[in-house]
């Protein structure tokens, strides 16, 4: 009852955020992971895909299986759903990971480039006039995750595939390091940075001992310095995010030094960085960045995957998801993210009946906030941390309505600490405090902060 009453109160508070003029919309798709080996056999009793690791797939159907990466029918259905739902977006963000979870020896450069080419082709075919800002994933190279900090054949060939989407200057930096920057929609005052964060992946043996692979941090600092000078507003796009995986305690992605440098970049330029958009997790979550005094200064949105593949990461339970695609609504004057609308395919229903892409939720409705600003996302985090109804709602969204089990105290701790603390030391302290207390001390501080900010509305 307490949660219901608070929802009603916040609904009244959020009315002022509705009806805003000049709202733009763009798609974010990520982690398509096309499995070119997916084949249905009579009775579906055996493995139908290499990405299942030879596990039986008795429930497999036309649109896939939770043990497998995406068959072509699922890829096609997802992009056609985008065309049906929002046929004329302002732009599309595509954050990579296009090839399946199979051993390197089952792929090779030619197959990797072929898969990326096929996905590029269907997007261009259905959205021929739409600008696409596309980032490399760790599965968009051969061997996977070993993306180099120097020019190479794969970067060059992908640059050719994406040539229509890239400005001339972007093509040059992409070939050299897999990253680029452009004026967002070629508009003065708006900018996008598309990063190759695979260079910071702790599984990348090539870059592990480097201080600044491909000089990307130096380049980003220079671009953001110039952007601040010109009073530009900036979106940052990438594949692998900093911080920790919310479904496995202590599971990090960046090396320690790279993680620290990324956080410092956001803190230094948070006044102009209006949004961060990443993938890789296959889950629906977000990450908060705070000032030294604890004020929320930036939010990173982690969009769920198209692939339903159940992760083989040890210790992760129910690590699959329903396929998802996402629309961001934003203020065309400020780039502020006003809302997030996620659409999904119930894979079980699709295989039995038909492919029906439907709205899963709208952020402002589900969490009763006026927008998706850092202050509002901090409020969402505190609701998840302290109110069970919001925790369970978020937990269902996290797997795109695949895992609807109860998120217990340990589960809550894993998710909340991962969302709140991107820094390594702060995360470890959050987990440590939470393990010895029913309400982590760090989260209690955050809750008090959120109460004071609510009062300012």
Binding site listing for Zn(2+):
31, 33, 97, 138, 239, 280, 282
> Dihedral angle at the C-alpha atoms of 128, 354, 318, 28, nearest 10 degrees?
20
**Which tokens belong to 362?**
């709208």
Instruction: Label the pairing between strands 296-302 and 285-290.
Output: antiparallel
Nearest alpha-carbon partner for 277 in 307, 247, 303:
303
List helix spans (H) across 213-331: 216-229, 256-268
Per DSSP, what are the bridge partners of residue 298? 289
> What's the Cα-to-Cα distance from 383 to each of 223, 389, 391, 430, rounded to whole Å?
36, 9, 7, 17
- For tokens 């530009």, name the residue: 232
Query: Using a CB cutoff of 8 Å and minimum separation of 24, what contacts does 319-322 make?
Result: 319/247, 320/66, 320/67, 320/399, 320/402, 320/403, 321/282, 321/283, 321/399, 321/400, 321/402, 322/346, 322/347, 322/399, 322/400, 322/401, 322/402
- For tokens 């992409």, name the residue: 174
Instruction: For residue 61, give the 3-state DSSP assignment.
Output: strand
d(CA 347, CA 322): 6
Burial of residue 150 (number of CB atoms within 10 Å: 0-12, 13-18, 19+): exposed
Distance in Å from the first CA to the final CA of the chain? 24
d(CA 328, CA 326): 7
d(CA 258, CA 256): 6
Q: Binding site, residues?
A: 31, 33, 97, 138, 239, 280, 282
d(CA 282, CA 270): 26
Nearest alpha-carbon partner for 301 in 376, 382, 388:
376
d(CA 190, CA 334): 9
């Amino acid at each position: 009852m307490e949660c219901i009453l608070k929802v009603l109160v916040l609904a009244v508070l959020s009315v002022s955020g509705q009806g805003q003029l000049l709202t733009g919309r763009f798609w974010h798709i990520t982690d398509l992971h096309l499995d070119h080996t997916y084949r249905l056999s009579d009775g579906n009793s055996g493995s139908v895909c290499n990405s299942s690791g030879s596990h039986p797939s008795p429930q497999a159907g036309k649109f896939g299986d939770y043990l497998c990466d995406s068959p072509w029918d699922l890829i096609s259905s997802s992009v056609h759903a985008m065309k049906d739902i929002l046929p004329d977006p302002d732009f599309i963000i595509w954050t990579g990971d296009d090839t399946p979870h199979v051993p390197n020896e089952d792929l090779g450069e030619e197959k990797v480039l072929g898969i990326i080419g096929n996905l590029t082709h269907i997007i261009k075919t259905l959205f021929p006039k739409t600008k696409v800002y596309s980032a490399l994933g760790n599965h968009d190279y051969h061997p996977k995750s070993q993306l180099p900090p120097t020019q190479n054949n794969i970067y060059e060939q992908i640059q050719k595939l994406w040539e229509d989407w890239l400005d001339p200057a972007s093509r040059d930096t992409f070939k050299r390091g897999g990253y680029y920057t452009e004026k967002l929609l070629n508009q003065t005052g708006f900018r996008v940075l598309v990063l190759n964060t695979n260079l910071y992946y702790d599984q990348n043996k090539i870059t592990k001992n480097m201080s600044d692979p491909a000089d990307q941090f130096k380049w980003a600092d220079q671009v953001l310095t110039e952007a601040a000078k010109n009073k530009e507003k900036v979106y940052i796009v990438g594949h692998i995010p900093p911080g920790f995986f919310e479904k496995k305690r202590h599971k990090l992605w960046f090396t320690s030094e790279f993680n620290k440098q990324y956080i410092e970049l956001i803190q230094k330029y948070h006044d102009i960085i209006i949004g961060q958009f990443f993938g890789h997790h296959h889950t629906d979550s977000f990450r908060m960045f705070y000032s030294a005094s604890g004020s929320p200064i930036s939010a990173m949105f982690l969009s769920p995957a198209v692939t339903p593949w159940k992760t083989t990461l040890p210790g992760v339970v129910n690590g699959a998801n329903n396929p998802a695609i996402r629309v961001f609504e934003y203020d065309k004057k400020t780039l502020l993210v006003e809302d997030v609308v996620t659409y999904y395919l119930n894979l079980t229903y699709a295989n039995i009946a038909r492919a029906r892409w439907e709205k899963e939720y709208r952020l402002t409705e589900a969490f009763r906030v006026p927008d998706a600003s850092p202050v509002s996302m901090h409020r969402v985090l505190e609701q998840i941390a302290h109110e069970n109804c919001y925790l369970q709602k978020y937990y269902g969204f996290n797997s795109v309505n695949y895992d609807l089990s109860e998120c217990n105290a340990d589960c809550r701790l894993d998710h909340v600490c991962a969302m709140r603390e991107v820094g390594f030391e702060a995360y470890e302290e959050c987990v440590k405090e939470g393990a010895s207390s029913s309400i982590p001390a760090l989260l209690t501080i955050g809750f008090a902060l959120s109460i004071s900010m609510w009062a300012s509305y």
